[in-house]
Structure 1
Amino acid sequence: MAVDIGRKIKELRMSKNLTLKELSEKVNLSIGFLSQLERGLTNVAVDSLEKIADALSVELTYFFSIPKSSNESILRSYEQEIFQVTNSKFINYHLTNDIENKTILPRLVQILPSSSDEEINNYQHEGEEFVYVLEGILTLFLDNQKYELYPGDSAHIESNIAHNWANYTNKIVKLLSVNTPNPFKNKE
């Protein structure tokens, strides 16, 4: 990580035509320390890195961003980003890099606990839906029936059947969901 941070600092510094001495004066850190930092030979405290970020006009998080895999077919676990949060209860992560060009939509969904008093509105859409429970107990509403699915359980349904999900426990439910067709696919 120190090598990546140092490389990013050097690239930013050079793009702004700053010498090590000029950056040193702006952030009140020695030239020798900054030189070692840029070469990945030392670590930096967060407060010092924040000063460097300010001097180079970037957010602190810039130094911690992880590059995407060079292969579009591979999505590393650390590359997963939250795509959407629905009703403050459903946290959706896409499980592919190239969502616009794929036929299926694979997602990791985390469902936060809710009260069984809340009204659940079933919905329908075109295609098929596959759900595999990874953690927790999922309550599945399917065609006016209620089912509890446990880790390892799955459901594969025609999506034109009225359905929805809920979490009536006090722990997060995690599930794998795969839909077809993919609503994000480019229409040609």
Structure 2
Amino acid sequence: MHKLKAITPLGAKNPRVDTVGAITITEVVDQALASVAARQGQEKALRQALQKHHDLTLPAVGASSRAGDLSAFWLGPEQWMLSAPYDSHELLAAELKLTVGTSASVVEQTDGWCCFDVSGATVCDMLERLCAVPVRTMDKGAVVRSIIEHSGAYVWCLRPGERFALMSPRSSAASLHHGLQTAATSIA
């Protein structure tokens, strides 16, 4: 019998937290993720289902929304990433599939992505070294896709000028983390 143990995207038992100067880089592993894509002609039905069952309004381009412990951000035309605490929504994709029925395709994404929470007084200086995103002018909830360390990543503003979440494919976790540490060190 196999005795499998979960590991973080950086390959450890526990999430990594690094403090470099005024910057804190935290590996986030407590969120369940699911992508939701409206099927052809079903965007209105999808929006209605999520509003009815979760009180969640799907966000517009470059934005995010929140209802209770469920968050969503725009991925592309008629596509969103939804997240919720893993402890209470381990089966988020299955829950959403029951909610949206045939109006959307729902795909489990939890182990396909890595997320780093970056915060601190000089976080904008750090992010400006990594990506071409106007982090200093982003409003709370704004989300921009960019290239960081040769990979596509989402930059999500959690607290303007102070705290951001960066999400990229799990396979690029080490590269993204290295880039974050290097940029933080360059301004420390």
Same fold (TM over 0.5): no
Which structure has the greater CA radius of gyration?
1
TM-score, normalised with respect to structure 1: 0.28
Higher RCO by CA contacts (8 Å cutoff, separation 6 or greater): 2
- The two structures have a TM-score, normalised by structure 2, of 0.28
More strand by share: 2
